[in-house]
Structure 1
Amino acid sequence: MTDTHQTYTLSKKESTLRQKVGQLFMPAVFINDTEEEVQKMERLIKEHHVGSICFFHSRASAATNFEGKKKVVHNAKSHDRLKELITRYQKASEIPLLVVIDAEWGLAMRIENTPQFPYAITLGALNGDENLILQVGQHIGWDCRAAGIQWNLAPVVDINNNPENPVIGYRSFGENKEKVLTKSEAFIRGLESTGTLNSIKHFPGHGDTATDSHLGLPVIDKSLSELKENELFPFQELINKGVDSVMVGHLSLPQLDDQNPSTTSSKIITGLLRKQMGFEGVIISDALNMHAVSKKYPKKGKLEQAAFEAGMDVLCFSENVAEGIQLILDTATEERIDESFDRVWRLKKKAFAMDKEMAKPSDGSASILNRNIALKSITELYGNPSSTQKFKAEGFLNISCNNGKENIFSQKLEDEFGVEPLDIALQTDIINEKIKATKNVVLSLFPPAVKPKDQFGFDTNVLETVKKWINDNNTLIYLFGNPYVLDLLGLKPTSNVVVVYQDFPEFQEVAAEHFKGAISAKGTLPIQLKTFQA
């Protein structure tokens, strides 16, 4: 471990009720905060006995910049800054803090220049090979612990059964509940092997929604029996096997509670999750700054108090710590406070008991793991397999839609077949002339965004051009991104697509090997696309 890693001993002492309530709060902290903001957080931690902190990149990142109007300033030294701030915040706290982060696909989710691993949808394409997913969890856990982070708010165990979902999609392992369970369990085992705490989310299931809960309150109008059949299945099975925490999403489930969102629903948190499903561990809220709930509670601290009253143990991204503590003290019984405090204390003891030296992955092993996943996940969706044989025999155009991404794949095709890469954005006229001479097109697509908002960031004219080429030519598409992009392309039943999922160098190299015929595709699409439905 790095020399910034600290070992703590945690001994329970007599605490005042105010100190106990403070342990239930998890304010957000930002790697790129100013010195003034850092000192303000140090005072908050010290004065209010805050129990945990959750790291985000900056106040312009997605965690607070829901509409995407603020420009994110990148910081090449974010990782060093993270470790520095963890040391400072731990020193400010009398009781060791639980340091927390969302690292679903690695610290790279929040921090530049750190290893990134594939999205859950990519891991969902693996047929078996759960050991690769375990290794992903293990690598991410190692990276967390080396930085001084004990708790990773992952994995997502939502079942991805709505292609219009604006916020889950690529973060889910897929639409099959059994596979979501198996893959989630492997990821959790990997985290556990490094002593990193986990959190399954977003209870009771955020997959079948078309609303982003950062912006509004999604409605899931299903009965309890319907939820048990699908959405609740992986949660229940993982709870039975043992998990550290469950994160409750901001959702409206009118058939379960027609008065309150899940965040403040005692019927859902205490009645369903705690009593019916038998979960005895820590229940944590999704970020309380999200507009799905924050706008409904204008009085400072009232949302925190309502969530706690409903059965929540940890109040994530609380923006009103002092007010929330006071309202809980004014309304809750000592017995109720002790229940949540004891759960949080047990979680802290577990985290710091596992705070020990562990082997670190060797240099380059993240890249090796990513390549192994690429080899096993690349997926063919061939409507006319025989037409793919024409490319090498008859020649082809090497067309790309790069969107500023480094296109190693097209370069390798040029190196191997001597076909110059042509970028749609820069060379449309040249392409339109050349395409008259050959009807064979290899089209590599690099979507600008991974989320479906605004057509994944694609320019409408570019999409129309791509649709025309697909319709008029023998086109083989290599997609380096979210497979839901395919529903925008006007594909035909005879269209041929290779889904590569990621644009990492390792995935692009594997895609080039696939085109050359050096490897075969072994992955399976983990979701249903409208394009390929009967």
Structure 2
Amino acid sequence: MNKSQKIAQCFSPAAFIHDSEENYQAIEKLIQEQEIGGLTFFHSRYSAAANFEKRAESLKTEGTFEKLVELINRYQAHSKIPLLISIDGEYGLAMRIEKTPQYPFAITLGALKKDPEKWVKEVGYRMGMDMKRSGIHLNLAPCADVNTNPENPVIGYRSFGDDVEKAAKLSFATYSGMKKAGIGACLKHFPGHGDTAVDSHLGLPILQKSKEELKAEELLPFQYGIDRGIEMIMVGHLAVPALTGGKDIPASISRELITNLLKNEMGFKGLVISDALNMKAVANLYPKPGELEWQAFHAGNDILCFSDHVKEGIEKIGQMASDAEVDEVFGKVMDLKKRLGVMESKSIEVPAFDWESHSQLQKDLAENYVSVISGEINPAELKTLAEGGKLGYREFFTQSPSHFSQELNLSSLPIDQAEKVILGVFVPSHKPLNQFGMDQAVLDEIKALEKSKPCILVHFGNPLALKHLGKLEDFQAVICGYQAFEEVQKVVVQTLQGL
């Protein structure tokens, strides 16, 4: 293979499942003419990470999974060397593809009380098996970020929490589960995106911490993984001046950070993959096509994700990089492909999911993480009130009555006649924008209710949203369900019934 062909193996541009036939053919042309090494799949152009500010666009959703499998087969048929197929599925295929198994968010798994590492590894394994059967070789997950900034606009629910040790152990457990399933995984977003207040899809976050502080927090989960032999790390688009001689240079294109710190000082011997190169934090820095790709390669990235300028990137790297540098990276990429069974890729059928087994796992997990986080529940008292027609129920942010309300089966009692009220809050969004999607008037209504009589708050959603509901101690009790899965709603009912 010539130098350009070897460089092309580093490229994993975006492929969109819902797209035009013209765009599908453009990808085929890229595969045939540039001989790229892989593809990273996204739902559609509107839902791709860097475009999420335009998400008001209506997305087509019919047959997404079938379409994905069809496209993987189609694109593989056009590639001389089988493509490394990757997806960013932090909570499973469902992060990108409707009607596929969704697993709990990292923040939810961070709340597991018993044997968290064992359960998280199982989740990683199940996610990995779903992907492997679908023709995917690499999941660009999990986040090893420590979410120490509750105002973080982009990490939040994607992190296992604000505890460094927990983030280290659970991100490694997820990674291990996926590896057990036979697919690749990576810890991200090195050197740690948790304590930032800017979304790197839109601008450059700058982390003003000393190297000592970073070692004790941000870098620790990555070092934990490196010490246990992880094979891939994704580098984020955030600046850490303390590690780059005071310069506000994104980590993803910083040689000091990737080559000097990660590879030399921290001892990482695996592959480095860049975060999406179309993200505004880096894409705006180098308007000349190909320059950003060269900067990322020179910094020490082995796989270039979501490059918008593949042809120019290959040419620029070809001009600037030595044969030895190219050979080293090419060798790493080909070794990865062999390890993950990419070279034996063959046409696949659309797999069926075992929904019964998935639901059982969700139930087991929910029983482990649903928690009374404030006050106490007295099931006997609630039963007496319910039987006497004195227990009220209201729910918020639902379009139709929830499974929870049906399971509770409380009569539609006027609230002023109730002695106690259960408030079911189904948080509309897991992202902090606009108070997690909660309308202020509704929040005021909840606070007024809580002042008027004893209330039990049941919070189905990101626990970071609780701060918008007032002081927890003002409620008689608070149950956190973390998410609104049907299995979670059933477990909360059992908690109220003392089962």
- TM-score above 0.5, yes or no: yes
Instruction: Tell me whether 1:37 sits opposite 2:23 in the alignment.
Output: yes
CA–CA separation in structure 2 for the residues paired with 1:463 and 1:70 = 24
Q: CA deviation at 1:382?
A: 1.9
Please tell me whether residue 321 in structure 1 is matched to residue 317 in structure 2.
no
1:190 pairs with one of 160, 165, 177? 177
Inter-CA distance 466–389: structure 2 relative to 1 (3 Å threshold): farther
The corresponding residue for 2:338 is: 349
Per-residue deviation, 1:390: 4.6
Superposed counterparts of 1:103-182, under 5 Å: 103-129=89-115, 130-182=117-169
Q: Please, which runs of 5 or more residues in structure 2 have no aligned partner?
A: none
- CA offsets per residue over residues 320-344 of structure 1, 9 Å max, x none? 1011111111211111112211111
In the other structure, the counterpart of 2:186 is 199
In structure 2, how many angstroms separate the alpha carbons of the residues matched to 1:331 and 1:353?
29
Q: What corresponds to 2:363 in structure 1?
A: 371
Which whole-Å deviations, capped at 9, do the CAs of 1:72-96 have from their partners, x for residues lacking one? 4232311111011001111111111
TM superposition shift of 1:354:
9.5
Q: Distance in 2 between matches of 1:120 and 1:282?
A: 24
Output the CA distance in 1 between the equivalents of 2:428 and 2:238. Answer: 29
The answer to whether the aligner puts 1:266 opposite 2:261 as a matched pair is no
Q: Residue 516 in 1 paired to residue 497 in 2?
A: yes
Structure 1 alignment gaps of length 5 or more: 1-14, 422-433, 519-534
Q: CA, structure 1 residues 30+351, in 2 after alignment: closer, same or farther (shift >3 Å)?
A: same
The residue identity in structure 2 corresponding to 1:207 is G
Deviations 1:438-491 (CA, angstroms, capped at 9, x unpaired): 341101111111100111111111111112222332111111110011100112
Whole-Å separation in 2 of the counterparts to 1:79 and 1:348: 24
Q: Match of 1:132, as an amino acid?
A: W
Q: Does 1:409 align with 2:411?
A: no
Cα deviation, residue 392, structure 1:
3.4
- Kindly indicate whether the alpha-carbon contact (under 8 Å) linking 2:209 and 2:240 is maintained by their aligned counterparts in 1: yes
Residue 2 of structure 2, aligned match among 10, 16, 25? 16
- Tell me, yes or no, if the aligned pair for 1:24 and 1:314 is still in contact at 8 Å: yes
Report matched runs for 1:100-499 at 5 Å: 100-129=86-115, 130-257=117-244, 258-259=246-247, 260-352=249-341, 362-383=354-375, 385=376, 390-394=381-385, 395-404=390-399, 407-414=402-409, 418-420=410-412, 434-495=414-475, 496-499=477-480
* Equivalent position of 1:525 in the other structure: none
Whole-angstrom distance in 1 between the partners of 2:171 and 2:378: 38
CA distance in 2, matches of 1:145, 1:77: 19
Which amino acid is the alignment partner of residue 168 of structure 1? Answer: I
Q: Distance in 1 between matches of 2:342 and 2:456?
A: 53
Contact 1:122 1:377 in 2 (8 A): yes
Q: How far apart, CA to CA, are the structure 2 residues paired with 1:273 and 1:419? A: 60
* Superposed CA RMSD: 2.0
Q: Could you tell me how far 1:362 is from its partner in structure 2?
A: 4.7
SS of the residue 2:242 aligns to: coil
Distance 1:113 1:100 in 2: 19
Matched AA of 1:437: Q
Deviation for aligned residue 1:386: 6.8
Give the secondary structure class of the aligned counterpart of 1:90: helix
Kindly state the Cα deviation for residue 182 of structure 1 after the two structures are TM-superposed: 1.9
Equivalent pair of 2:236/2:250 in contact (CA under 8 Å): no
Q: Equivalent residue for 1:431?
A: none
SS of the equivalent of 1:137 reads helix
Helix, strand or coil at the partner of 2:44: coil
Q: Percent identity?
A: 45
Secondary structure (helix, strand or coil) at the match of 1:65 reads helix
The residue matched to 1:364 in structure 2 has which SS? helix
What are the superposed Cα offsets for residues 252-284 of structure 1, whole Å, 9 maximum, x if unpaired? 111112332111111101111010011111100
1:387 positional shift? 7.3
Which digits, 9 at most, give the CA deviation of each residue in 1:2-47, with x for residues without a partner? xxxxxxxxxxxxx100001111111000111111100110000111
- Aligned-partner SS, 2:45: coil
For 2:9, give the aligned amino acid: Q
Partner Cα separation in structure 1 for residue 131 and residue 342 of structure 2: 16
Distance in 1, Cα, partners of 2:377 & 2:99: 42
Change (3 A) 1:461 1:62: farther
Residue identity matched to 1:170:
Y
CA-CA distance at 1:349 after TM superposition: 1.1
Contact 2:397 2:426 in 1 (8 A): yes
Q: 2:69 aligns with which of 50, 64, 83?
A: 83
